[in-house]
Amino acid sequence: MTAPEGRGIAGFDDSSTFRILHVSTGNVCRSPITERLTRHALCDRLGDPLGGGLIVESAGTWGHEGAPMETNAELVLADFGADYSGFVGRELLDEHVIRADLVLTATRDHRAQVISMGHSAGLRTFTLKEFTRLVRAIDPATLPDARDEGMVERARALVRAAAALRGWLLAPSVDADEVNDPYGAPITFFRSIGDEINQALDPVVTALTGVAARD
């Protein structure tokens, strides 16, 4: 079987796109929320999430292939005005990791599972909250200007800078980099997780695009 081309395959370079892969367990709660909130934030800043070549996807380490997202996840997205339509759950496959420029996971266990798949994933795989913490420490002035060099180059430089900081900027607590699983929980808990994800995403999307959220 021939492996698909992607970031984990030596010598492959697609300069036109930057793929962000969100990973959780079932791909019906946390990663769908994170995927669609990321797209929503990109639309807010760019007008079109694909305008800068950024592609946002998700999958689950025990993904419910073909399943819709949980109803409470849809309600959370509706609270933010984000589009939840047409979502289909996916099981995490090698090809998803291979093609991803940045993998953001809900927990450290998910991060470890992605890295264990190989494909040179270690330097581009973080938990969402870990990546947020690292991004906050990066001076935006050190990144390429998206208007001059393109958003893809800026995003790739951001990932490299975050990887270089890992190990120097440690989490303040064991649970600081975790997003808890709301599966089966009431809508109030789903909404708290949605707020947590949205707050973590805001500085990430700002750093990726160089554009702050509109007031």
CA distance 61 to 22: 11
- What is the tens place of the pLDDT at every residue in 22-52? 999 999 999 999 999 999 999 998 887 566 7
This prediction's pTM: 0.92
Average pLDDT, consecutive stretches of 10 residues, N- to C-terminus, the chain (215 residues): 34 72 97 97 82 90 94 98 96 96 97 94 96 96 91 95 89 88 97 98 95 79
Q: Which fold has domain 18-208?
A: Rossmann fold (3.40.50)
Q: Are 100 and 78 in contact (CB under 8 A)?
A: no
Domain boundaries, the chain: 18-208
CA distance 74 to 182: 13
